[in-house]
């Protein structure tokens, strides 16, 4: 893994140095540059394959093509053999060089031959054209900015800002989508004028500066496996073993994340089986037993003789948030805590790990998948009864501030019963955050009037109602694959691991695995109320039974409780000095209402408050000149007591 950057400009190409060095954390081992008077390219390298000669930018045989790539091409050995047989000559042993020669054979459609995680830029000097591309699922990031006669791209937004050519300005439409969805959809970023290249997409810039986007891959959920349950499980087992083995391609040792959940445990066990030495494993826990999964992680580690490292996270981890936001270039997420901490732990010993990201999104592992069916049953109650009697009864359930508390689940069930089909699924995404009604209360009327694209639910429905999906569970899975996966889960995994110069590989989001999962009948993924049924069937061949059968816990932290205890003064002080209220973006009364209800125990608003808290810190970092260290010091002062 590494960081890449580039600029096409008649006069500003010298900024490539600052742009590239802003990505030093992504590649601490080396840097390389290219400038031909039209384009300047930069790369920071984390040396994983071909440690001696795999420097970038890399050129083809006659130097007419130049490549910078962030990622790994897992099928590169086979591709290389085929290309050499056709007469192509390689300069290095690095995996990404195959992209240059595939381009010579297939042009921009070279991406369809790649199996891996990648974001690359390929400059064709003869045509004076630039090709940008991201992998099928969107594991590796790529951002761009088009400014008249100047075009910039980079692995992270901070690199574009480091050029001095892209000024930070807030995109209010992106902000409105973020507070509803927990992620920023489509090409949006929180910075006006800076866009992200979507997953499975190429962007071609020709010599006249014209931009052409093309989506080159997408799964079809309609064609289904027609074998028996056991036969499909056998095929999946074989595919997962092959895929995990491919993801171990490296000239340095590869470790494994083991959270105690099924997905990471399965990937780690398959990695251990494929390795001829003890696999280093890395696990994070918390002192609160309601959230701690370390006992289950230890079962896997002991079964496969892994070389284990563990760490306990404490409430003071909020002081890490400024660094997390700086690496994300957007507000952090509670899920990111775990990835950040376990990556920090792993980076002390290895450069590369495999993890279980994406299993829930491909194999139906979230409660909401089964919950949609339960809502249909609940709808047997008359609507008037649900709106009045049930709403009052549910409102009396005391809030425990635990993971998926009874109060939250009951309120979700009742609220979702007033929607159906895709609208219900879209609403469920915003339920714990800000629905359209919640945003109406949060944003001032002046800001609401400035929004050009206010409908966050439309970002979900366009995928839920797609023509290439038939079954209910598949509609939810496809929606997640097109939204949550590339815009939420994978950005967190990428940025929180690269914060520690660690490459995180995710075999369960290999596009061949995703295609196979799409073809599994819905009844084998969600069997009655049994989540992730077929994947669990395969996992049972490798993991302890109680790990398979236990209730899904989730990798999380008791943030709701912490906000009412250790983090109370921090939240209060931040909201009393809210930049978003001062600038007329948020209604101060609504922010205070949410905080008062949470503090009093009337409601658990921790998801909403976390979003608001992070936005305040993000603003201070990117618009007020604070650094992660200076902001951490502010957090310490604000946490000490009332202002």
Active site (annotated) includes residue 2: yes
pLDDT digits (tens, 9 = 90+) for 246-282: 999 999 999 999 988 999 999 999 999 999 899 999 9
- Exposure string of 358-395, with b = 16+ CB inside 10 Å and e = fewer, is bbbbbbbbbbbbbbbeebeeeeeeeeeebeeebeeebe
- Establish whether domains 2-215 and 229-363+499-549 are of one fold: no
Helices 367-378, 406-416: axis angle to 10 degrees equals 60
- Mean pLDDT value across residues 297-309: 94
Domain chopping of the chain, boundaries: 2-215, 229-363+499-549, 367-479, 559-639
Q: Evaluate whether the domain defined by 229-363+499-549 bears CATH number 1.20.140.10.
A: no
Q: Look at 146 and 546; give whichever has higher pLDDT.
A: 146
- Mean pLDDT value across residues 172-180: 98
Which H or E element spans position 35? strand 30-35
Partners of residue 313 on adjacent β-strands? 286
Model-wide pTM > 0.75: yes
pLDDT of residue 554: 56
Distance CA 3, CA 43 (A): 6
Q: Can you give the C-alpha Rg of the chain in angstroms?
A: 24
The one-character DSSP state at 398 is P
The answer, yes or no, to whether residue 442 has pLDDT greater than 80, is: yes
Q: CA triplet 247, 249, 250: central angle to 5 degrees?
A: 125
The answer, yes or no, to whether residue 69 has pLDDT greater than 90, is: yes
Contact 628, 621 (CB under 8 A): yes
- Starting at the edge strand found earlier in the chain, the sheet holding 503-505 runs 307-313, 280-286, 254-257, 352-354, 503-505
Distance CA 4, CA 52 (A): 19
For residues 77, 496, 333 and 511, what is the CA-based torsion angle, rounded to 10 degrees? 0
Model confidence band, residue 481 (pLDDT cutoffs 50, 70, 90): very high
The answer, yes or no, to whether residue 402 has pLDDT greater than 70, is: no
Range name among 46-60, 82-96, 137-151, 180-194 with the lowest pLDDT average: 46-60
Distance CA 533, CA 637 (A): 49
Print the SS3 string covering 478-496: HHHHHCHHHHHHHHHHHHH
Contact 184, 330 (CB under 8 A): yes
- Mean pLDDT value across residues 465-481: 94
Fold assignment, 2-215: 3.60.20
pLDDT of residue 85: 97
- Mean pLDDT value across residues 604-609: 93
Model confidence band, residue 553 (pLDDT cutoffs 50, 70, 90): low
pLDDT of residue 1: 67
Model confidence band, residue 483 (pLDDT cutoffs 50, 70, 90): very high
pLDDT digits (tens, 9 = 90+) for 320-345: 899 999 999 999 998 898 899 999 99
The answer, yes or no, to whether residue 599 has pLDDT greater than 80, is: yes
C-alpha distances in Å from residue 59, one per residue of 79, 101, 121, 140, 543: 17, 10, 12, 22, 46
- Mean pLDDT value across residues 129-151: 97
- Mean pLDDT value across residues 26-33: 95
Q: Which of 373, 370, 386 is nearest to 530 (CA)?
A: 370
Pick the catalytic residue from 2, 69, 110, 145. 2
Query: In the chain, what percentage of residues exceed pLDDT 70?
Result: 97
At 409 the three-state DSSP class reads helix
């Amino acid at each position: 893994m590494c960081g890449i950057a580039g600029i096409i400009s008649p006069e500003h190409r010298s900024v490539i140095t600052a742009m590239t060095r802003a990505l030093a954390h992504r590649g601490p081992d080396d840097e390389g540059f290219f400038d031909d008077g039209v384009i300047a390219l930069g790369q920071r390298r984390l040396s994983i394959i071909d440690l001696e000669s795999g420097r970038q930018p890399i050129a083809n045989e006659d130097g007419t093509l130049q490549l910078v790539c962030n990622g790994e091409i897992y099928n590169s050995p086979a591709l290389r053999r085929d290309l050499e047989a056709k007469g192509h000559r390689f300069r290095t042993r690095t995996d990404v060089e195959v992209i240059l020669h595939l381009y010579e054979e297939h042009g921009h459609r070279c991406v369809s031959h790649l199996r891996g995680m990648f974001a690359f830029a390929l400059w064709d000097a003869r045509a004076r054209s630039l090709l940008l591309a991201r992998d099928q699922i969107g594991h590796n990031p790529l951002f761009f900015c088009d400014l008249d006669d100047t075009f910039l791209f980079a692995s992270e937004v901070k690199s574009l800002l480091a050029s001095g050519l892209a000024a930070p300005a807030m995109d209010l439409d992106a902000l409105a989508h973020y507070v509803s969805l927990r992620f920023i959809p489509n090409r949006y970023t929180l910075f006006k004028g800076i866009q992200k290249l979507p997953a499975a997409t190429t962007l071609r810039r020709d010599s006249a500066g014209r931009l052409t986007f093309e989506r080159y891959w997408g799964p079809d959920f309609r064609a289904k496996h027609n074998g028996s349950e056991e036969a499909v499980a056998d095929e999946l087992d074989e595919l997962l073993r092959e895929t995990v083995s491919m993801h171990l391609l490296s000239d340095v040792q590869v470790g494994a994340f083991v959270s105690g959940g099924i997905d990471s445990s399965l990937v780690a066990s398959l990695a251990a089986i494929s390795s001829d030495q003890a696999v280093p494993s890395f696990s994070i826990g918390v002192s609160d037993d309601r959230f701690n999964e370390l006992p289950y992680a230890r079962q896997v580690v002991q079964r496969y003789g892994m070389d284990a490292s563990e760490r306990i996270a404490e409430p003071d981890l909020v002081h890490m948030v400024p660094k997390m936001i700086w690496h994300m270039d957007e507000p952090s997420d509670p899920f990111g805590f775990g990835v950040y901490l376990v990556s920090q732990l792993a980076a002390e010993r290895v450069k590369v790990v495999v993890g279980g990201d994406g299993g829930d999104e491909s194999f139906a592992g979230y409660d909401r998948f089964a919950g949609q069916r339960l809502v249909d049953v609940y709808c047997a109650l008359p609507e008037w009864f649900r709106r009045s009697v049930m709403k009052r009864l549910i409102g009396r359930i005391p809030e425990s501030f635990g993971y998926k508390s009874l109060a939250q689940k009951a309120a979700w069930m009742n609220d979702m019963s007033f929607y159906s089909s895709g609208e219900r699924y879209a609403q469920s995404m915003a339920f714990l955050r800000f629905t359209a009604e919640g945003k109406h209360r949060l944003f001032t009327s002046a800001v609401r009037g400035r929004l050009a694209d206010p409908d966050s639910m439309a970002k979900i429905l366009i995928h839920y109602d797609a023509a290439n999906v038939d079954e209910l569970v598949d509609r939810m899975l496809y929606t997640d694959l097109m939204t949550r996966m590339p815009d939420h889960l994978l950005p967190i995994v990428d940025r929180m691991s690269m914060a520690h110069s660690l490459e995180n590989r995710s075999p369960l989001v290999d596009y061949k695995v995703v295609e196979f999962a799409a073809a599994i009948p819905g009844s084998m993924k969600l069997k009655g109320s049994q989540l992730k049924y077929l994947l669990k069937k395969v996992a049972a061949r490798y993991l302890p039974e109680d790990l398979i059968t236990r209730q899904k816990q989730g990798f999380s932290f008791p943030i709701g409780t912490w906000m009412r205890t250790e983090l109370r003064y921090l939240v209060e002080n931040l909201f009393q000095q809210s930049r978003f209220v001062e600038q007329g973006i948020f209604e101060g009364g609504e922010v205070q209402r949410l905080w008062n209800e949470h503090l009093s125990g009337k409601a658990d608003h921790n998801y909403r408050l976390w979003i608001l808290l992070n936005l305040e810190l993000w603003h201070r970092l990117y618009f007020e000149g604070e650094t992660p260290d200076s902001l951490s010091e502010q957090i310490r002062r604000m946490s000490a007591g009332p202002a």
